[in-house]
Amino acid sequence: MHKPRIRWHIAIFLAPAVLIYTSVMIFPLFNTLRLALFSKVDQERVYVGLENFRTLFFDPIWSEQFWNALGNNFWFFLVHMLVQNPIGIALAALLSHPRLRFAALYRSAIFIPTILSFVIVGFAWKLILSPIWGIAPSMLDAVGLKSLFAPWLGKEEYALTTLAMISVWQFVGIPMMLIYAALLSIPEEMLEAGEIDGVTGFAAFWKIKLPLILPSIGIISILTFVGNFNAFDLIYASQGALAGPDFSTDILGTFMYRTFFGFQLQLGDPHMGSAIAGAMFAIILVGVCLYLFGIQTRMRRYQL
Amino acid sequence: MKRNFMMAALTGTALVATSALAEDATLTVESWRNDDLTLWQDKIIPAFEATHPGIKIKFSPSAPTEYNAVLNSKLDAGSAGDLITCRPFDASLALYEAGHLAALDDMTAMGNFSDVAKSAWQTDDGSASFCVPMASVIHGFIYNKDAFAELGLDVPTTEDEFFAALETIKEDGNYIPMAMGTNDQWEAATMGYNNIGPNYWKGEEGRKALIAGEQKLTEEQWVAPYATLAKWADYLGDGFEAQTYPDSQNLFTLGRAAIYPAGSWEISGFNAQADFEMGAFKPPVRAAGDTCYISDHTDIGIGMNASTAHPEAAKAFLSWVASPEFAEIFGNALPGFFPLSNAPVELEDPLAKEFVSWRGECESTIRSTYQILSRGTPNLENETWGASAAAIKGTETPEALAEELQSGLASWYEPQQ
């Protein structure tokens, strides 16, 4: 009888990654979920089951804030899907045009904001849009459109959309790069074959290229979804933890931060904060699962 | 063998303990005021050590935004300093209730402070005090004296005069009448609502009645300040909705705005920045001859770590902090942070002097939302920020705002139910 050898090297090679990932990701994640099941009563931590979630969803004070943040989050995501990704695809299509000059320059220029820190982006745009020192009002004035200027970041009805656009400006380089790479991988012969059949220009894009890059667009959508529902930095850097004006830019990330760590006179409540973090985790998990099992598996793939 | 080792270890610790007694007691001060490091090293610590041989002080501040978290974890781990700078109200009360701060009622020096001064660091029923009050900040308005002279304006004392002055400045057009924005929200509440409000709710009388549940936020004296704030909007300059706190400071110190709704903490910064002469006036009263009320808000205190190794030395330091000598050093080194002890202190900065002189003319109170009322969810202080900003922008009526605040407060605060 030949006993199969235990292949120790697999475990050893996996160990560093597994250990590090477990200690910095998996353990904190489950510990946070566990923390959401407790509450602090008279300096003692007591187990309360799903009570924190009941408060979060059904107590009018908490649920109003939660739904407001969730709604804002969806709007934030929608703006990215409707503005950032189509522009990213269009830019990639232009860049992949063989006769475009200075393509490398445009590519780098559009990608650079992505590597900037949120704090710098938030601060720079706050200055640009400032009604007092900003260049936005004077630039609009120069073309005679001063009347269109408003203190966008300070108005409830515009602030969230303005921030979403700033974020689009910052991250449009990511879909552009991914789509650009996908477009470059389309073999030249296929386009030439199309040309022979009379499919050129726009028609070639719609009928040949777009179906071939659909899987990449799917990946970009899911990255946008996860990124947006975890967003926090830009809002915090430009509007503060209270996500003003009047909570109109409050998203789940800022809501969670405020609850968990406290703010000004509000003392931090790690247990309710963990409950919100748990809800965020569930929302993202459901979204990703819907995509993976509902869309990804049905998407048609072509052998290139 | 084992027993011998134990004996040796015991004598060893005993020796260490006696030698520690013979040495100086070194007290470490925890604080969030890292701006004050040089003040402590150059003035406060030498003055104290000169009169108290055998006690050494070490000031070890951390960043303001991290202070509460850092302090809590140090206290839980038992590595916190002997003396602890106290945030006002609930943050410190929580430390006292958790047994981290010692009660100080048996210190005779606590008699140097008024009840209002002590209220920020007491249990709700006032039975125990756990921090020595160090300083307060006073609210009012700072104005550009050159601008007022140019336009022939006098310092307004009543609300009508105040709005008349704003109107004159606006008509002239050279200056933005008042520098304040609503972007950061807290200025609207702190320098707006809680600045002018005490004149409406009669300071302590109204504040205490609110805590006791005898008044409601929907009553006239609590709603009317929002109506007054709504009138400010016309005088705040273009785009005030997106104007931030540093924007407002710069507008004023660059001489582009005539009036700045202020807290006295601005004084040292403004002295360094502005090259024109500044004056200050207290929140205008509603009708001539009314009693004036000012917000004289308790901001910093200092207490003793309950598990300090040197309680006697720590108490000696706290008694000294309560003395007029400390008040004089602190008040002059940090104009705008006013010592709270009853002993009169001679200040040198003219602007600071102006602010502190109101204590003699008006009744002092603290910000209405700070004691007890911001303990639950929704947090009344944070809600007041939003409400004050909304009142100025005119996005909601004062009555509707008050209604919301009241129902939020009543949802968790029993006396208001």
Torsion sign across C-alpha atoms A133, A138, A139, A140: positive
Note the pLDDT of residue A34: 93
Judge whether A29 lies within some domain. no
> What digits encode the pLDDT tens for the residues A108-163?
999 999 999 989 999 999 999 998 888 998 899 899 888 888 889 988 999 999 99
Residue of B183, B190, B409 to mutate, interface with A, max A Cβ within 10 Å? B183
Note the pLDDT of residue B17: 43
Contacts of A53 (CB under 8 A, 6+ apart): A36, A275, A278, A279
Contacts of A108 (CB under 8 A, 6+ apart): none
Sort strands B293-304 and B363-365 into parallel, antiparallel or unpaired. Answer: parallel
How far, in Å, CA of B110 to CA of B129, rounded?
9
How far, in Å, CA of B415 to CA of A187, rounded?
75
Q: Between the CA atoms of A293, A299, A300 and A303, what dihedral angle is there, to the nearest 10 degrees? A: -80
User: Nearest residue on chain B to A129, judged by CA atoms?
Assistant: B242
Judge whether A303 lies within some domain. no
Q: Using the beta-carbon criterion (under 8 Å), do B377 and A62 form an inter-chain contact?
A: yes
Helix and strand element counts for chain B (H, E):
20, 10
How far, in Å, CA of A183 to CA of A77, rounded?
25
pLDDT tens, per residue, chain B with 417 residues: 445 554 444 444 444 444 444 467 899 999 988 878 888 999 899 999 999 988 999 999 987 767 877 788 788 888 999 999 998 888 889 889 889 999 998 888 888 888 888 888 999 888 899 999 999 999 999 999 999 999 999 999 999 999 999 999 999 999 999 999 998 888 999 999 999 999 999 999 999 999 999 999 999 999 999 999 999 999 998 889 999 898 999 999 999 999 999 999 999 889 988 999 999 999 999 999 899 999 999 989 999 999 999 999 999 999 999 988 899 888 888 888 999 888 778 888 999 999 999 988 999 899 999 888 988 888 899 899 999 999 999 999 999 999 999 999 999 999 998
User: Torsions phi, psi of B136, nearest 5?
Assistant: -130, 165
Write out chain B residues lying below 8 Å of A156, CB-based. 395
Note the pLDDT of residue B240: 93
Residues belonging to chain B with any Cβ–Cβ distance to chain A shorter than 8 Å: 68-69, 89-91, 94, 97-98, 181-186, 237-244, 247, 251, 369-370, 374, 377-379, 381-382, 385-386, 389-390, 393, 395, 408, 411
Judge whether A197 lies within some domain. yes
Residue B276: name the closest of B256, B248, B306 by CA: B256
Write out chain B residues lying below 8 Å of A61, CB-based. 377-378, 408, 411
Note the pLDDT of residue B19: 42
User: Torsions phi, psi of B66, nearest 5?
Assistant: -100, -10
Q: Is A230 exposed, middle or buried (0-12, 13-18, 19+ CB in 10 A)?
A: middle
Residue boundaries of the structural domains of chain B: 24-136+298-349, 137-296+367-416
Write out chain A residues lying below 8 Å of B391, CB-based. none
Write out chain A residues lying below 8 Å of B181, CB-based. 154
Judge whether A114 lies within some domain. yes
**Please, are residues B299 and B136 in contact by the beta-carbon 8 Å criterion?**
yes
**Please, are residues B166 and B283 in contact by the beta-carbon 8 Å criterion?**
no
What's chain A's Rg over C-alpha atoms? 24
Residue B307: name the closest of B17, B95, B61 by CA: B95
What secondary structure does DSSP assign to A202-214, as a single string?
A: HHHIIIIIHHHHH
**Please, are residues B105 and B131 in contact by the beta-carbon 8 Å criterion?**
no
Residue A221: name the closest of A290, A298, A282 by CA: A290
Q: Using the beta-carbon criterion (under 8 Å), do A151 and B408 form an inter-chain contact?
A: no
Contacts of B33 (CB under 8 A, 6+ apart): B61, B64, B85, B300
User: In chain A, how many domains are there?
Assistant: 1
3-state SS, residue B374? coil
* Relative orientation angle of helices A51-58 and A270-289, to the nearest 10 degrees: 80
pLDDT > 70? residue A291: yes
The owner of tokens 């004006």 is: A245
Note the pLDDT of residue B23: 60
CATH of the domain at A247: 1.10.3720.10
Interface of A with B in 229-288 (CB under 8 A): 240, 242, 244-247, 261-267
Lookup: tokens for B363: 């009744």
Judge whether A223 lies within some domain. yes
Interface of A with B in 23-52 (CB under 8 A): 43
Judge whether A26 lies within some domain. no
**Please, are residues A110 and A95 in contact by the beta-carbon 8 Å criterion?**
no
**Distances from the Cα of B144 to the Cαs of A93, A197, B138, B349, in angstroms?**
58, 78, 18, 16
Domain that holds residue A152: 52-298
> What digits encode the pLDDT tens for the residues A37-95?
999 887 788 899 899 999 999 988 899 999 999 999 999 999 999 999 999 999 999 99
Please tell me which of the candidates A129, A132, A246 has its beta carbon nearest to residue B389. Answer: A246
How far, in Å, CA of A109 to CA of A163, rounded?
21
How far, in Å, CA of B340 to CA of B343, rounded?
9
Say which CATH topology domain B24-136+298-349 has.
Answer: D-Maltodextrin-Binding Protein; domain 2 (3.40.190)
Write out chain B residues lying below 8 Å of A246, CB-based. 386, 389-390, 395
Q: Which segment of A1-5, A288-292, B303-307 scores lowest on mean pLDDT?
A: A1-5
pLDDT > 90? residue A201: no
Contacts of A201 (CB under 8 A, 6+ apart): none
pLDDT > 50? residue A36: yes
Judge whether A158 lies within some domain. yes
Q: Using the beta-carbon criterion (under 8 Å), do B89 and A156 form an inter-chain contact?
A: no
- Confidence bin at A35 (pLDDT 50/70/90): very high
The owner of tokens 């770590």 is: B305
Contacts of B100 (CB under 8 A, 6+ apart): B75, B80, B84, B305, B306, B307
Smallest CA–CA separation between A129 and chain B, in Å? Answer: 9
Say which CATH topology domain B137-296+367-416 has.
Answer: D-Maltodextrin-Binding Protein; domain 2 (3.40.190)
How far, in Å, CA of A30 to CA of A36, rounded?
10
How far, in Å, CA of B109 to CA of B315, rounded?
10
Judge whether A266 lies within some domain. yes
Query: ∠ at Cα B204 (B201, B205), nearest 5°?
Result: 65
How far, in Å, CA of B162 to CA of B362, rounded?
18
Note the pLDDT of residue A147: 86
User: Nearest residue on chain A to B395, judged by CA atoms?
Assistant: A156
Q: Using the beta-carbon criterion (under 8 Å), do B379 and A265 form an inter-chain contact?
A: yes
Please tell me which of the candidates A60, A131, A242 has its beta carbon nearest to residue B385. Answer: A242
* Prediction pTM value: 0.82
Instruction: Quote the DSSP letter at residue B285.
Output: B
Lookup: tokens for B329: 């050093």
